[in-house]
Structure 1
C-alpha cells in the first residue's frame, strides 16, 4: 500500500492514511467511478519491486555508510531490507547465512516480491533479467565451517549481506568483506550486517564492531544512524575523523602525501560504518500478526534481547564455559579510568604468532588492570623489539610473565639478559596446584592459570577484580570451555579454541598471565600464588 500511494500525485496523496489497513478501508469505501478513475491513473505505472517501511528501515536503506548494521531486535524487517537493497539498489548482490538451509526464508521472500522464481537456477544464483534489471543478479552462499569463506575468494559483489551476522565467525565476515567491490561506474558498494543481540560468546565480535552504538561502556557513544569512520591501522580498526586516506608517520596519521611514494599496503583508506536499531514496533505488518505476543512470552534474557534489542542482557553461556559472562561484565562495570591505584604489581605478555594475532601487554596494579597495550604482529617483528616495548611499559620493577611457547622465547631471552625479572610460562607444563576449595587438580599449567582467573572473578572473591571495558577482552575471557578428566580440570586447547572462534584469544591470555603474583625480586614478600615451569 505504501508503494501504491507513493505513485499518486501529491494532491490525491494528501490526507491518505499511511497505515496499510486504514488505507485499504478508505479504498473500499470509494464509489465505483472513483475506483475506475484511480485504476486508469495507475494503469501505465509500474510499482517498484520493493519500498522500505517508514522509520528505521528507510534510514538504513538511504544510509551512505559503507558498512551498515541493522536490527538489534526481532521483527524489525532485517530480511526485507536485505532483499530490498538487492532488488532495487545493487548490480551484483551476495546474501550469506551461516547454514545453507537458513537461506530458504530469504528465497521465499524474494519469490513473493518477484511473483515467482523466473531467473532463479534453484541453487545459488537469481538473475533479474525479466524484472527490468538487466545484468543484475543475486547470489546465495553459506560458510558452515571455518575456511568455507575462501570458496568465495575473488567473487566481487557491490552488496554483501551477512544475515544474522552473529552466527558467523569474525574471520569469515572480514574475509568476505574484502570482496565487497565493483567495477561498475557510479555503483555504491555496501556491506549489510543484520543481527539480533548475540546469544553466545562467539557472536560478541559484532558488538565490538559496532561498539559506539552497542557497547554501553564505550567512551564516545554514537546516535542511531550516525556515520563514523574507521581505518585499519596495524591490523586493528581505529576510529578516525573522516574519509581522507592517510599514511602513518610514526604513530600519527599523515594526510598530505604523494600516493606514488608509498606502496598500496601503506595507504589507509577509511570506511564508514553505522548502526540502525529496529524493533517489531517499527513493522506494522508483524505488529498485526500476533508475533509481538510470541516475543513477549519468551523467557529472559531472550525476551529482552529479541523484543528490546538489549545487548546488555545475559548472553547464553556454554554450561562448560570456564568464566561466566556475568562475572566478566561485573568486573568491567567496576573499572574506572583513573590513575593506577598503587604500584604496578605484574605484567602479562602474550606474543603474536603472525597473521591477525596481536602481541598483548596486560598491566596489573593490585586488583585493577590497566587498559591493554595491543600491538599487531607487524609492530613487534622480533624479540628485541617486543622486549623493548615491554620495558617501556614496565613500572615499579613489576615482574613480567610471558608465554614462551613459540615466538615468546626470543623476547623472554632478551628481557632476562637485560636484567628484567621475567617468568617464562609454558602452558603445557605440569601443574601441582589444586582449586581454591581443594577439590580439583589440573591437567596442566594452562588449566590452572585460567581457573585462577575464574576464582578471582567469582563474586564471592574477597578482593574483586576490575577489568578494562574492552569488548574483545570480554569475548576472549568468555570463549574457553573446560572438562573434567582423570587428571583434573582440562581447559580447551588454544589451537582448538582458535579453530572454533576463528581467532586467537590473545587479550584473555595476557590477562591470565598478569594475574600471576610473582614476588618482586628481593622484596621478601610471599606471593598469593607463584606459578612457574
Structure 2
C-alpha cells in the first residue's frame, strides 16, 4: 500500500492499464467490498488538501482536479455535521448525483430538506444562497465543515457571513472551511484572489507556496491582516487567535478518473482566456468583460499599474467622501491630485455614525482647500450638513439628480448625475487619452469600478446613459461600492476649484481664530 501511495496519478493509470481482465475484476471486487472505505483521496493534491491542517482551504484552480469529490469525501469520512453550498439550488443536482454514485443509492437522502444522513451517523446538508442576503437562512446554524463549491460564484460577504457559524459541540471533530473552484470568469469573483493573495496575486510582497499555511486576523478597521503565526495577538483590547489559510492547486492531470476519459482534450480546445483558466488554473489570465460593463477591467488595471507612490503629491483638487453609518459598509475617502489619486482611506461605518464623527474622519484629510464632494442623500446628508456648518468648501453630489453634461463624443446625454460621474471617470481612464489617471493598486477599488453596468435609455427626444444603481451593485458585490463611488464623485461636473492666490487657512486655524476673537471681545 505504501508503494501505491507514492505513485503519481499517471503511474497509477499505467498500473491499471497493464492489468489483465481477471486482475481488473479482482481489483473491482476489492474496491467494492464491505471492508473498503467509502471514499479515499487520490494521491497528490487531493490527499494534500484532505490532510491539510489549515482552517480555511482553497482547493482547485484548474478544472477536473476532483474538487467536488474532495468536499463529498470529507463529509463521508472526517466530519460529523457538514454543509456544502452552491450559489444556486439548481447547481446542487450534480452534487446529489455524485454522492449517489459514491454510495450506490440515495438511501438516507431527503431531497425536500436537502439533508443526507450518511453511514456512521454523519449528516450532510446542501444549501444555496442565490441572493446576497440569503445567507441569513443559515444564520446561527452550526456545522463543523462549511464547504463551498465554485467559491468564485459567491459574494465575499456571503462567504464571510456563512463561515461565522463554524462550530461543533464535539471536541473530537475537526472544524474547517474548504472551498473548491476555478479562477473567476467575471470581475465580481476577484475577491477570491484578494482573500488568498499570498498564493494568487503575482505582486504580493511575500508569496506563499502551495499548501503553505499563513495566518490572518481581522483588524480594528475590519480588514484582513496577516500575522507571523498561530499565536494569539491583540486586536484593540481583545486577544484573537489567528485563522490559517492555504491554497492547493490541482488539475485534470491529478485526477485518475477524468484523465482516462479525454476530458483534458476538451479543456485544451477551449478558447482563450478560458483555456488558460480551466486547463492551467491561471488566475491572472484575461477575462472577457460583460458587454455592458461601464469601465473595462484592463483600463482599471492599467491605471493601477501607472500608479507610483509620491512624496510630493501636488495640489489636492478634490476629495470624494462616501460616508457610511454602521453595518458592514465602510466610509471611504478618495483624495484626488489632478490625474493622480492618493491611497484610499476607509473606516468602519460605526466610526462615522453621525454628522460630527463623519466630519471628524474627513476634515483632517483635506488639503489646499480642496472641495469635499459628499453624497447628499440618505446617510450622507448629516455629514454634508455638518461639513457645511464648518464653512468648508463642500460640493453636494446627488446621484439621482438630472444631468446636463454629455459624453466626450457629444452624442449621448446622461440620465442622472450617477451616470455622468461614472462615464466621465471611464473617459479619464481611457488609455488613449492624453493623460489618463493613475489609481492606487487597491483590489476592492478594482472590483467596485468593474461591477458597474450601463444601458442606453430614452430621455425625452434624445438617448441617454443610465448606470446600474448602487443597490444593484451591492447585490453583485455583497457590499457597498464605497471606494468606487468615492473616486467617481470627484468627476461630477461643476466641482469648484480651490481658490488661487493666498492659501486659505485650515479648519483648525479658523476654529482657533474664532476662539481668539471671542476671547478678545470678552476682554474688551
User: Where on the TM-score scale, by shorter chain, does this alignment land: which range?
Assistant: 0.7 to 0.9
Summarize the alignment of residues 429-444 of structure 1 with structure 2, pairs less than 5 Å apart.
429-444=401-416
Question: Which residue does the alignment assign to 1:501?
Answer: 477
Cα distance in 2 for residues equivalent to 1:349 and 1:473: 14
Contact 2:131 2:475 in 1 (8 A): no
Pick the aligned partner of 2:364 from 359, 382, 392.
392
Question: Which residue does the alignment assign to 1:21?
Answer: 13
Question: Which residue does the alignment assign to 1:305?
Answer: 277
What is the DSSP-based 3-state SS (H/G/I as helix, E as strand, rest coil) of the residue aligned with 1:213?
A: helix
Query: Residue 27 and residue 267 in structure 1: after superposition, are their counterparts in 2 closer, same or farther (change >3 A)?
Result: same
Pick the aligned partner of 1:450 from 406, 419, 422.
422
Cα distance in 2 for residues equivalent to 1:43 and 1:245: 46
Pick the aligned partner of 1:489 from 453, 456, 465.
465
Cα distance in 2 for residues equivalent to 1:39 and 1:191: 33
Structure 2 unmatched runs, 5+: 503-524
Structure 1 unmatched runs, 5+: 255-265, 526-533
Indicate yes or no: 2:176 matched with 1:187.
Answer: no
Cα distance in 2 for residues equivalent to 1:46 and 1:336: 63
What is the DSSP-based 3-state SS (H/G/I as helix, E as strand, rest coil) of the residue aligned with 1:52?
A: coil
**Cα deviations across residues 147-172 of structure 1 (Å, max 9, x unaligned)?**
33222222211111110111222222
Query: Residue 420 and residue 114 in structure 1: after superposition, are their counterparts in 2 closer, same or farther (change >3 A)?
Result: same
Question: Which residue does the alignment assign to 1:121?
Answer: 110
Question: Which residue does the alignment assign to 1:72?
Answer: 61
Question: Which residue does the alignment assign to 1:209?
Answer: 195
Contact 1:344 1:398 in 2 (8 A): yes
Indicate yes or no: 2:156 matched with 1:141.
Answer: no
Question: Which residue does the alignment assign to 1:531?
Answer: none
Pick the aligned partner of 1:156 from 142, 145, 168.
142
Indicate yes or no: 2:241 matched with 1:240.
Answer: no
**Cα deviations across residues 381-440 of structure 1 (Å, max 9, x unaligned)?**
222222222222223333221112122223223333334322121111221111111111
What is the DSSP-based 3-state SS (H/G/I as helix, E as strand, rest coil) of the residue aligned with 2:439?
A: coil
Pick the aligned partner of 2:288 from 298, 312, 316.
316
Cα distance in 2 for residues equivalent to 1:102 and 1:519: 52
What is the DSSP-based 3-state SS (H/G/I as helix, E as strand, rest coil) of the residue aligned with 1:285?
A: coil
Contact 1:364 1:515 in 2 (8 A): no
Contact 1:441 1:489 in 2 (8 A): yes
1:139, distance to aligned residue in structure 2 (A): 1.1
What is the DSSP-based 3-state SS (H/G/I as helix, E as strand, rest coil) of the residue aligned with 1:79?
A: helix
Question: Which residue does the alignment assign to 1:346?
Answer: 318
What is the DSSP-based 3-state SS (H/G/I as helix, E as strand, rest coil) of the residue aligned with 1:148?
A: helix
Query: Residue 13 and residue 416 in structure 1: after superposition, are their counterparts in 2 closer, same or farther (change >3 A)?
Result: closer
Question: Which residue does the alignment assign to 2:100?
Answer: 111
Question: Which residue does the alignment assign to 1:332?
Answer: 304
Which piece of structure 1 moves more, 384-393 or 352-361? 384-393
Indicate yes or no: 2:372 matched with 1:372.
Answer: no
1:267, distance to aligned residue in structure 2 (A): 5.3
Cα distance in 1 for residues equivalent to 2:429 and 2:265: 38
Summarize the alignment of residues 33-112 of structure 1 with structure 2, pairs less than 5 Å apart.
46-112=35-101
1:297, distance to aligned residue in structure 2 (A): 0.9
Question: Which residue does the alignment assign to 1:529?
Answer: none
Summarize the alignment of residues 4-15 of structure 1 with structure 2, pairs less than 5 Å apart.
5-6=1-2
Question: Which residue does the alignment assign to 1:178?
Answer: 164
1:351, distance to aligned residue in structure 2 (A): 0.6
Query: Residue 39 and residue 66 in structure 1: after superposition, are their counterparts in 2 closer, same or farther (change >3 A)?
Result: closer
1:473, distance to aligned residue in structure 2 (A): 0.9
Cα distance in 1 for residues equivalent to 2:7 and 2:235: 57
Question: 4+ residue stretches of structure 1 with deviation over 6 A?
Answer: 12-18, 29-32, 38-45
What is the DSSP-based 3-state SS (H/G/I as helix, E as strand, rest coil) of the residue aligned with 2:247?
A: strand
Query: Residue 47 and residue 484 in structure 1: after superposition, are their counterparts in 2 closer, same or farther (change >3 A)?
Result: same
The TM-score normalised by the length of structure 2 is 0.87
Cα distance in 2 for residues equivalent to 1:143 and 1:273: 23
The TM-score normalised by the length of structure 1 is 0.85
What is the DSSP-based 3-state SS (H/G/I as helix, E as strand, rest coil) of the residue aligned with 2:100?
A: helix
Cα distance in 2 for residues equivalent to 1:412 and 1:386: 9
Which piece of structure 1 moves more, 476-485 or 364-373? 364-373
Cα distance in 2 for residues equivalent to 1:17 and 1:137: 31
Query: Residue 76 and residue 39 in structure 1: after superposition, are their counterparts in 2 closer, same or farther (change >3 A)?
Result: closer
Question: Which residue does the alignment assign to 1:464?
Answer: 436
Cα distance in 1 for residues equivalent to 2:216 and 2:196: 11
1:82, distance to aligned residue in structure 2 (A): 0.8
What is the DSSP-based 3-state SS (H/G/I as helix, E as strand, rest coil) of the residue aligned with 2:257?
A: helix
Summarize the alignment of residues 247-262 of structure 1 with structure 2, pairs less than 5 Å apart.
247-249=234-236
